[in-house]
Structure 1
Amino acid sequence: MDRPGAVAQLRAAVTRFVGDHDLRDDRWCVALSGGPDSLALAAVAATVLPTTALIVDHGLQPGSAAVAAAAREHALAVGCVAVQVIRVQVGAEGGPEAAARTARYRALEQARGGVPVLLAHTLDDQAETVLLGLGRGSGARSIAGMRPVDPPWYRPLLGVRRALTHAACGELGLTAWQDPHNTDPRYTRARLRTEVLPLLEDVLGGGVAEALARTATALREDTDTLDAMAEEFLAGAGAGLQPATLAPLPPALRRRVIRGWLLAGGATGLTDKQIRAVDALVIAWRGQGGVAVGSAHPGQRLFAGRRKGVLMLYREPV
C-alpha cells in the first residue's frame, strides 16, 4: 500500500490530536505567520473544524504588511472561515526574539475570542527548544520543552517533522513565506537550526531531533508529577513557609514548593539562582538577609526572607 501523502498525514495527526485531547469546541483559531508550518496547519485544520486564522504583523521587517496580506489570502484560499490581521508594537525587553514572542502571544490572547488556538510548532522546533534549555542550564523545566496542550494553546504538530509541512504546502500548491530570520545567524535559534542540529545529526548518526523530543516528553512527565506534589504541599502551608517542615523534603520537591510559593506571592521572572538562594534560607540558615526576586508590582521590590523562624515575603519601594 502506498504511503499517504503529506496532507493526509497531517490531517491524520490533527484528527488524532483532537481525539486524544478532547478538543470538542465547535471552532478554533490557528496562529498563521504565512510560513510553511502554520500554512499547512491552517489548511488541514480548516478541513476538521471551522477555523479562524490569526495573523500577527510584528512590523519588524520591511514589507511585513505585504507578508500579512499574502497570508490572509492563503488562509481564505485553504478554507478558513475568517481571518484577523493584528499589528503589534514589539518592545525590547529580553531581546528581539523574546520581545516579539511576548507581543505575539498577547495579541493572540486578545483576539482568540475565548476559543482554542492551534500553534504550528513541529518536532524540529521542540528539539531546538530542548537544546536552548540545555545551553542555558535552566533546569528540567526548560529542557522539558513545549507542552502539546497548555490551554488555550494547542500544538498538534509536535510529533511531526518540519519536512512534512513543507511537503504538504507543495502538494497544495501553496507558496509559503520564508522568514529570513530563520536563517539569520544573528539569532541563536537560527544557528541551532542551520548549524548545530545538522552537525549533531551527522556526528551521532541521525535521529537526534526525535531523541531530543523524547527527552522533553520524559522530563515533562517527571516535572508534572513533582509540580503536583508541590501544589499539594502548598495547599496546606498558609501565608508563610515553615523551614522545619520544608527542610526534610527532597531538594527537587522543596525547590518546587519554594518556586510555587514565590509565584503565588507575586514574583516574576524567577531564576534558578534566586530559587536556590531562597532554599538556602531553609537549609543553610546563618542569619542572612532577604533574597530579592522580580516583582509583578511596578515601583516595588519583592524579597523573600526568614523572620522569626518563618519564610515570609515583603516589599520595599524601589
Structure 2
Amino acid sequence: MDTRPSLDPAIAEVRLAVRAALAGLAPGDAVVVALSGGADSLALTAAAAFEAPKLGVRAVAVTVDHGLQQGSADAAALAADRAAALGIEARVVRVDVGADGGPEASARAARYAALAAEASAIDARAVLVGHTLDDQAETVLLGLARGSGAASLQGMAPAGELTSGIALLRPLLGVRRGITRAACLAQRVEPWEDPHNADRRFARVRVREAVLPVLEAELGPGIAEALARTALQLREDAAAFDEMIHETIEDIVEHAEAGISVSVAALAANPAALRHRIIRRVVAAEFGASLTRTQTLEVARLVTDWSGQGPIDLPGCRVRRAGGRLEFTAS
C-alpha cells in the first residue's frame, strides 16, 4: 500500500497549470516570475520553484516596488524573502510611476517595463504573471462596461508577447483565486494583502467586491467561469476574423502615391462586421491610429451610402472616395 502523503489538490492544480506553461521551454532556458507577494503570484512562484528545475529551466522571481504606498519597500523585500525560502532566486526592482493614463495604467506600464528589462538581463524566454480566472471575469465585465465591442470582451490572452523575443504567459488563467489561496495555505506561505486590492476608488475592486458577488447571488454560481468561457470563445472568433481579414486585405488593398487605396466593390461585398474590421485594420497598420466606432461607420458610409460626400479627416490620415476606390492618405 502506498503510504506517501497525498498532494494537496490546490497545490496540484497550480503546479499542473505552471507545468503546461513551461512545456514549450528547453533545458537551459530562463523565465521571470512576476511576484507581488499576493496569493496569486505567491502560489505561481511556489509552483515555478517546484516545476522549473525538473525541466532544467532557471526561474527568477522579480518583485516590482512601485513606491506608491508607505511600506512598499518592506513588502517587496518580504515577497523576495518568501520566494527565496521556496528555493527560487529572487530580485526586487524599484520603479518610478508616472501620471499618464491614471495610476493603475501608469503602474502597470512601469511594472511590465521593469519585468521586460529583468527578463532581457537574464536572457529569459518568458515572463509568468499570476492572473487568475477571477481576474479574467473582472476584465470581461469591465470591457462590457466600456461598450467597445467584442475586442474589449476577449479578456486577457493565456500567452502573448511582452516584448521582442520575450513571451508573456498567464498559466493560472483557468484557476480560481480561491485555489491560489488554498495552495498558499497548504504550503504554509502567508501572502501579502495589498491595500489597493480593497480600495473602492478602483473600478476593478468594485467589480470584485460588489458586482460579481451580486451576479452570483442573483443568477446563481458559475458566473466567473461563464465570463471566462465567453472571453475564450471571443478570442477564437477574433483569431478567425484576423485570418479572414489578412487574406481579404491582400486581395483588395493597393499602394497609392501617398498612402493606400481599397476597392469599394470588394468592401461592399463583405458583411458589415468584416468590412468594419478591414477599415480599422487598414488605418491601424498604415497610419498607426485607432478608429472609434463612429469614425469607422462614417468611413463605411463612403462604401454603402455614398452620395458624393467629401473627404473625411481621421486620426493620422484622410480618406476619400475616388471612383471605385477608397483612398487613404497621411494627413
Q: Report 1:190-205 matches (<5 A).
A: 190-205=205-220
Matched, 1:15 2:19: yes
1:305 to 2:315 alignment = no
Q: Distance in 1 between matches of 2:301 and 2:93?
A: 46
1:242 to 226, 247, 263: 263
Aligned to 1:42: 45
Deviations 1:104-132 (A, max 9, x none): 22222222124211111100000001101
Task: Give, in angstroms, the shift of residue 201 of structure 1.
Answer: 0.4
Q: How does 1:218-229 map to 2 (within 5 A)?
A: 218-229=233-244
How far apart are the structure 1 equivalents of 2:155 and 2:279? 22
Name the residue aligned to 1:292: 314
Moved more, 262-271 or 130-139: 262-271
Return the offset for 1:238.
Answer: 2.9
What displacement does 1:275 show?
Answer: 2.9
Say whether 1:129 aligns with 2:139.
yes
- TM-score, normalised via structure 2 length: 0.85
Aligned counterparts of 2:265 and 2:96: Cα–Cα separation in 1:
48
SS of structure 2 residue aligned to 1:56: strand
TM-score of the pair, normalised by structure 1: 0.88
Counterpart residue number, 1:155: 170
Query: Post-superposition, which runs of at least 4 consecutive aligned residues in structure 1 deviate over 6 A?
Result: none
Secondary structure in 2 matching 1:156: coil
CA deviation profile, 1:196-220 (whole Å, cap 9, x unmatched): 0001000011110011111111111
Q: Which of the two has higher C-alpha Rg? A: 2
Q: Sort the Cα spacing of 1:304 and 1:108 in 2 relative to 1 into closer, same or farther, 3 A.
A: farther
Count of equivalent residues: 305
Secondary structure of 1:238 counterpart: strand
Identity %: 48
SS state at 2:91 partner: strand
Which residue of structure 2 aligns with residue 297 of structure 1?
A: none
Tell me which residue corresponds to 1:79. Answer: 87
Q: Give 1:280's aligned residue.
A: 301
**1:163 Cα deviation after fit:** 0.5
In structure 2, list runs of 5 or more residues that go unmatched.
53-57, 162-166
